[in-house]
Structure 1
């Protein structure tokens, strides 16, 4: 009578972490709209290496992983966490919006978007006291969108003047310096969104 095949030992705990690296690289590359070649150029590694990492045919060296993490704008910990599935969406409850420093007196910002390590879009609910002012001096790539919920904001942008009242939206390239101030009677409140450039 033949003996039963031995039960294979369980995979070591780190195996699931290693196995998850490739899919995480592929998912982030696709989210960023990059081809294998574009990511390879950005990370200064060969396209063949990126392909092998994504397929799980190669475990990246620490140097390669650091380059990929920088190119994909993620901390290296994103790729080597405990293997637990990261939620697809991020919820910011109204009562738990983080207060963000504004650097401008009379300007109060509360975060409304998910963690910067995972998302390129960053946004706030911004409240500007009557007469309050501020500036986005750049340089940065990407785009900025401001939707005024109440009050009125006036923007000076690349030699243009824009008065943005409640219900209006201003959308502009993020590499243009912008100065703004609350010009209505009373405070202004706006949703402020910025997308980092690639």
Structure 2
């Protein structure tokens, strides 16, 4: 993630995705299938390794059957100086 801003927020977003996926009882493979996204991409998102696109966020929300805002329901880290 060289050059990526807000690395901690991206990690927290990934944790949020993982938590929602587990709450729904989905495996990474099932979520990937529902999103039509490669399973490795799901893993990278959940580990906070990539700054995913807005369109992927919308697909994830629909697949997890939650409002988009619920995926961002976590405390933001302070801004890095």
TM-score range, shorter chain: 0.7 to 0.9
- Conserved? CA contact 2:21–2:31, under 8 Å: yes
For structure 1, the 5+ residue unaligned runs are 1-11, 86-198
1:41-74 Cα offsets, whole Å, 9 max, x none, are: 1111111110000011111111111100110111
**What does residue range 62-141 of structure 1 map to in structure 2 within 5 Å?**
62-81=54-73, 83-84=74-75
Superposition RMSD in Å: 1.9
Question: Which protein has greater RCO, CA pairs closer than 8 Å, 6+ apart?
Answer: 2
2:79 aligns with: none
- Conserved? CA contact 2:10–2:50, under 8 Å: no
Q: CA deviation at 1:78?
A: 1.6
Structure with the larger strand share: 1
For structure 2, the 5+ residue unaligned runs are 77-81
Instruction: Report the number of matched residues.
Output: 71
Structure with the larger helix share: 2
User: Which structure would you say has the larger Rg?
Assistant: 1
Q: TM-score, normalised by structure 1?
A: 0.33
Question: Following the alignment from structure 1 to structure 2, what is the Cα–Cα distance between the partners of residues 25 and 74?
Answer: 11
